[in-house]
Structure 1
Amino acid sequence: MKQLRYLLNIVPSNTLGNRGCAVSSAVPVGSALHKDTPLVTHNTIPSIIDVCPHCFSKASSCRCSNSPYLDALQRHCIPSLLQDNLGGHHSRLEGLTLKVLIQLTVQPEDYISKYQNLCYTVLPDDYLKGVMKGLGEVYSLVTSKHPRFVEDNMAMVMGRVRLNQIGFENEHGNCGAVFDTLSYVNHSCVPNSEIEWEESGNWTLRSVREINEGEEVTFDYLGGGKDLGVAKRRQLLEEMWGFKCNCEACQIRRKKGKGRVMGKRLQLKKFK
């Protein structure tokens, strides 16, 4: 892979708290800042699994010795399994969690440490219990073979997925992915970068304007959320990632919104 000129540093975030990514030098518009491949991905299109989720070889030509769950997974497609067990509801969150649980049992230590280094958010107990019950057969397989996957561990796995997943759409439907580095990049409604997905599986973070040395890099989690109203954007961001957006655009537009309402009221009073 070609070495990129611009180094991303993981730093304390000035926007959302916790951590974010900042550039080590000034960046012109249109520059590739970082290339990344997902730690784990999931899509919601029902299709029988024909690729081992551990070694990523074709299941028909591979009996992966590290994959004790391959037979169970081949009998179901993950979206259908979740739909059946969760009473008609499944999402990227459950799908990604299921695949992370499976991969954490067989992947090398560097994969596990990368995933465990990610921040996580606390999820409600009743939600966690519902999902663990819903995952049914596969969760039982994981915990029986690997007792360390107790409820507390499951909570952290799910919390990391929820906070760090990046959603996208392609021919496979609505997809989600968790990354080693890109998952640290924070949201802004007026971002300075965007993420491009390539058929090769690489994801590229690219600047959409000039970025100053040391400036934090951001992208729009909603992928076009600027076309939504402030209230709707904030609602979606809180529902999906658990934070209220207070970026400059949201603050300015809320203030302008109040001003416009006040101006309208004054005009109405004037002409009565």
Structure 2
Amino acid sequence: MSSALCFRRLVSSPLKKLHLHHRNLLHPFSSSTTNTTKTTTTTNENNKPSHQQPLPPPIQVSLTESAGRGVFATRRIGVGDLIHTAKPLLSHPTYSSLYNVCYFCLKKLSNKTQTIQFCSNECKQQAKEFYSVEERVDWSAYDEHCRKQGLKYPLLVKRLACMVASGAASAECLDILQPARLSTEMILEMENEFSLLKSCLMKVDFKDEEIAFLTKQWYIGVLARIRINSFRVELAGGLYEDLFLSAVASVEAEASVGNAVYMLPSFYNHDCDPNIHIIWIENVNAKLKALRDIEQGEELRICYIDASMDQSARQTILFEGFGFRCSCMRCVSGD
């Protein structure tokens, strides 16, 4: 993996050993993904093809022997195959790209202005509910704090708070994701951010029930999950068909346009020699692609960090950022 950093978590829990191929299936997760391009054909009474139905994503979420949840192949996947595409639960552009990308899907825009823009009426309509809340609030104090401190994750919390207040999302929508371990210093900083956020919202005439969810515990819990499950979105540009290996997209990726949290991609475990890769072509929709042939029952893994670093550096970053010691084959061999 190159410079694109995938910020997310490794789920760990005291589980009994499981047979990976057939025990304890959680669910197949198709609701937040698009189907693969391979199709099946049905026939009518004259034995002639009538229509084609796309196959579901060739994956399932199951329990691993040692790393909690993981994603496994339900059939053979070939190198270069697009496994699935995931839409974000939550996303927000960076400050530097705020006026250069669509405020909803993060697609780059050719018309650069000093105002919020949407790339299409569809994106504008999808953002209508939470954006109507955002527009009512003076965020200057909150944004200034985040800019000065170089913070990006609080922007996602702000977006989620507006989504919940507008009814566009549930306050518990991220609860299924594993939270990061927080130090006392981190919690104190989060409490300061929460005070700023609540102060901004309280200046607007919201109904009590609209912001009843907004507590210090909610803010810290959401931010703890975002910190370890957020992906840095780097648009590769070009057409998917032109990218034989997804590594090419990462190498030539431009600067980050935003950050996003996804459901299914957050369940992928880490490997310093991954068999799949996540890329962004035109917008925030994440595409997961096979880097090599993958057999049925094999776990699919991504790399959370820059895999070009040496073993010592990788171990340090993974432990400090994600709370685990990597024991993949590459690390065990000392590579």
Distance in 1 between residues matched to 2:173 and 2:128, nearest whole Å: 27
Distance in 1 between residues matched to 2:177 and 2:71, nearest whole Å: 13
Distance in 1 between residues matched to 2:196 and 2:213, nearest whole Å: 17
Distance in 2 between residues matched to 1:253 and 1:214, nearest whole Å: 27
Counterpart mapping for 1:128-167 below 5 A: 128-142=187-201, 146-167=211-232
Aligned residues: CA RMSD: 3.2
Counterpart mapping for 1:89-168 below 5 A: 89-108=149-168, 114-142=173-201, 146-168=211-233
Counterpart mapping for 1:1-272 below 5 A: 3-4=35-36, 5=55, 6-14=57-65, 17-46=67-96, 47=98, 50=116, 57=124, 64=129, 67-72=132-137, 76=140, 80-83=144-147, 88-108=148-168, 114-142=173-201, 146-170=211-235, 173=256, 175-222=258-305, 225-253=306-334
Q: Note if contact 1:79-1:90 (Cα within 8 Å) is conserved in structure 2.
A: no
Distance in 1 between residues matched to 2:128 and 2:261, nearest whole Å: 26
Residue identity matched to 2:309: L
- For residues 23 and 29 of structure 1, do their structure 2 counterparts lie closer, same or farther at Cα, with a shift above 3 Å needed? same
Distance in 1 between residues matched to 2:149 and 2:321, nearest whole Å: 16
Distance in 2 between residues matched to 1:235 and 1:108, nearest whole Å: 39
TM-score, normalised to structure 2, is 0.61
Residue identity matched to 2:153: L
TM-score, normalised to structure 1, is 0.74
Q: Note if contact 2:61-2:72 (Cα within 8 Å) is conserved in structure 1.
A: yes
Q: Deviations over 1:31-87 (max 9, x none)?
A: 1111111111233334466259xx9528xxx985884342325x649754512xxxx
Q: Note if contact 1:35-1:205 (Cα within 8 Å) is conserved in structure 2.
A: yes
Unmatched 5+ stretches in structure 2 = 1-32, 37-54, 99-113, 203-207, 236-253
- For residues 66 and 41 of structure 1, do their structure 2 counterparts lie closer, same or farther at Cα, with a shift above 3 Å needed? closer
Q: Deviations over 1:204-255 (max 9, x none)?
A: 1110111111111111122xx221111111222233333332222111117x
Residue identity matched to 2:61: I
Structure 1 counterpart SS, 2:279:
strand
Unmatched 5+ stretches in structure 1 = 255-272
Distance in 2 between residues matched to 1:98 and 1:236, nearest whole Å: 27
Quote how far apart the aligned CAs of 1:114 are: 4.4
The share of aligned pairs that are identical, in percent, is: 20
Residue identity matched to 1:3: N
**Larger deviation, residues 166-175 vs 154-163:** 166-175
Structure 1 counterpart SS, 2:220:
helix
- Answer 1 or 2: which has greater helix percent: 1
Quote how far apart the aligned CAs of 1:19 are: 1.3
Structure 2 counterpart SS, 1:28:
coil
Q: Note if contact 1:189-1:247 (Cα within 8 Å) is conserved in structure 2.
A: yes
Q: Note if contact 1:163-1:242 (Cα within 8 Å) is conserved in structure 2.
A: no
